[in-house]
Amino acid sequence: MMHADSAIDPILEDGVPVAAERAAVGSVQRRKKRFGLRIVFAAVLSALLAGAFVQFALFAHTIATARVPSKANADAIVVLTGGHDRVSEAVRLLEEGRASRLLISGVHPGTTREQLAKVTASSMPLERNSVDLDRVALNTAGNAAETASWARKNGFSSLLLVTSAYHLPRAEAELSGALPSVELIAYPVFSKELKLDSWYREPATIRLLIREYVKYILARLRISVKGVS
């Protein structure tokens, strides 16, 4: 007869079931693996957020430090509506002889030339032989499409692009995509109400710049995809 202590139970090792020990070890390893993956995910997410913040800060800095060009002359001027300041500045540039023709893009269908001349305090009646009105465009992409058609029709090789400083990067991206062979001269317009110099201390300005940055990124992506296809 074999004594009970003369054989080792194959499922026991130091009194602990081997299968249970292995399961415990596997569970610990899986927890470590999940923890490691969470650390990697958190690191990647932090890096992406940091990169996005840096890119936004550079975008905001570019807008805040934008300056009007020293030589603002071109074949024609295009101004994108969105405020009286933009149109007034474009009309002033036309009156100064910076270009021979002006396109006001995105004009409301019910707005007349006389009304535009009045709100811009123009000394000239915005005559048809020097000022064209685009009443079709509803957004910046539409501005670019209508401007491209107008520039090709008139054979312009350079354009003075007038719009708000915060809107200029997206407008320039859209027009560059629609008119790759035309020289664009960016002309920023600064609103007195918008404090760009201290944008990082102004919640309203920060929100505006964030919205514009998102629109700018989406526009660049759309233009890139369109170019590839």
What would the pLDDT profile of 219-229 be if each residue is shown by its tens digit?
A: 999 998 887 66
Top mean-pLDDT range of 10-19, 157-166, 190-199 = 157-166
Phi-psi region for residue 16, left (φ > 0), alpha (ψ -120 to 50) or beta?
beta
Task: Say if CB 119 and CB 86 are below 8 A apart.
Answer: no
Q: How far apart are the first and last CA of the chain?
A: 85
The pTM (predicted TM-score) of the whole model is 0.79
Task: Grade residue 51 by pLDDT with cuts at 50, 70 and 90.
Answer: confident
**Which residues in 48-101 belong to E strands, given as ranges?**
76-80
Cα separation, 117 vs 126, in Å, equals 6
**Confidence (pLDDT) at 165:** 96
Cα separation, 140 vs 97, in Å, equals 26
**Which residues in the chain belong to E strands, given as ranges?**
12-13, 16-17, 76-80, 102-105, 131-134, 158-164, 183-189
Task: Say if CB 88 and CB 118 are below 8 A apart.
Answer: no
Residue of higher predicted confidence among 61 and 117: 61
